[in-house]
Each structure stands twice: as structure tokens, then as C-alpha cells.
């Protein structure tokens, strides 16, 4: 059995695509996955299965979510081993989080389709892309004058030509604890 983490894009954000976590867990259980557990209402599902093809597995989950919920929910799937390597490497080691500074990982649906030169800190934005490695983008945000942190998910998707979903570093760490 392989342990996976499914990061779902765009659910329970600003009242859009609401999904209760018990319903979400039920959908994953209906797919015959084992040890299904949800983490935080932003759409993180931990589960185990004997299936090895991650791309086919993500499509299977997306199809079931569409069938049961009636709308499309992109799924960025990683093995627990992949997330453990990310956490161990800790690309944010030198950046101390605070109420004004937050660290994020954007999980891509696949390898970047575009060889884009993503600026580290676009003019007028309060975030900085620290790097792109494989199917992950590492981002630090700083609070703007209006009190909000910038959020680069749309910029990342347009720049790299693939879907992405972004999680706070603390959430990423919790998926493998």
C-alpha cells in the first residue's frame, strides 16, 4: 500500500465549491481507499491504496468528485514519501515565518509546460518565488500595506501552463506528521 496526499484545488475558498470534510472522506472511501483522513477544510486528503499510477489515480479521484459533487475539482496528488522529502529539504530554512511573513508550497498538476522565467519578486507584489523544483513552487509572502499577503497561485498557473494549488508550509508539514 502506498500512502498518498491529495491536495484539492479551489474548495471551501471564499464560499466557493463548499465541501464538508465528512462528505469528502466518504467519496474517497467509496473509491476503496484505506485509512482515509482529511486535514484542514482547504481540501487535503490522506489515504492509502495499492494503486501505483499517480496520474491515473488523480484522474479517477477527479472523475468521482465531479460525479458526486457536480463540479470539477483538480487534484494534485503526491505520495507521502514525496512530501517527506520536501519537508526534510525545507526550502524555507532561512525564512522565519511570522504574522507578516508566510511560506507556501504550490503543488503543480504536472511538470511545467512552459519554460518560463518567473520573476523572483514581481513589481508591486508582496511575494517572492524562491524556486521551482519538479512539480512544486516555493513562495514567501509578506504583508502588504492593506494588511493582506499576496497570493501568487494564478500567476504560477499562467507562468507555467499547468494547474496549481497552494498550501501553507505548516499544512504541508502536518500532512506527514
Q: Are residues 98 and 56 in the same domain?
A: no
What is the H or E stretch that residue 36 is in?
Answer: strand 34-38
| Angstrom distance (rounded) from CA 2 to CA 58 | 14
Q: Which domain holds residue 131?
A: 90-174
* Domain end among 63, 82, 101: 82
The per-residue pLDDT for range 44-60, each reduced to its tens digit, is 999 999 999 999 999 99
Q: Check which CATH number belongs to the domain holding 55 and give it.
A: 3.30.70.1280
Global pTM? 0.92
Q: Are residues 52 and 113 in the same domain?
A: no
The per-residue pLDDT for range 96-134, each reduced to its tens digit, is 888 899 999 999 999 888 776 666 667 777 888 888 899
Domain count, the chain: 2
Inter-axis angle of helices 21-30 and 54-69, to 10 degrees?
Answer: 120
Q: Are residues 98 and 166 in the same domain?
A: yes
Amino acid at each position: 500500500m502506498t500512502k498518498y496526499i491529495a491536495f484539492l484545488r479551489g474548495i471551501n475558498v471564499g464560499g466557493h465549491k463548499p465541501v464538508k470534510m465528512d462528505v469528502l472522506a466518504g467519496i474517497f472511501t467509496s473509491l476503496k481507499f484505506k485509512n482515509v483522513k482529511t486535514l484542514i477544510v482547504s481540501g487535503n486528503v490522506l489515504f492509502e491504496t495499492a494503486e501505483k499510477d499517480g496520474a491515473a489515480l488523480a484522474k479517477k479521484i477527479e472523475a468521482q468528485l465531479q460525479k458526486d459533487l457536480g463540479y470539477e475539482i483538480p487534484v494534485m496528488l503526491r505520495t507521502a514519501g514525496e512530501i517527506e522529502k520536501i519537508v526534510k529539504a525545507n526550502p524555507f530554512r532561512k525564512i522565519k515565518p511570522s504574522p507578516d511573513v508566510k511560506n507556501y508550497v504550490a503543488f503543480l498538476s504536472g511538470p511545467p509546460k512552459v519554460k518560463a522565467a518567473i520573476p523572483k519578486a514581481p513589481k508591486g507584489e508582496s511575494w517572492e518565488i524562491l524556486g521551482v523544483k519538479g512539480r512544486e513552487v516555493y513562495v514567501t509572502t509578506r504583508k502588504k500595506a492593506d494588511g493582506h499577503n499576496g497570493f501568487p497561485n494564478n500567476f504560477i498557473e499562467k507562468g507555467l501552463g499547468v494547474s496549481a494549488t497552494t498550501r501553507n508550509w505548516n499544512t504541508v508539514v502536518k500532512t506527514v506528521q
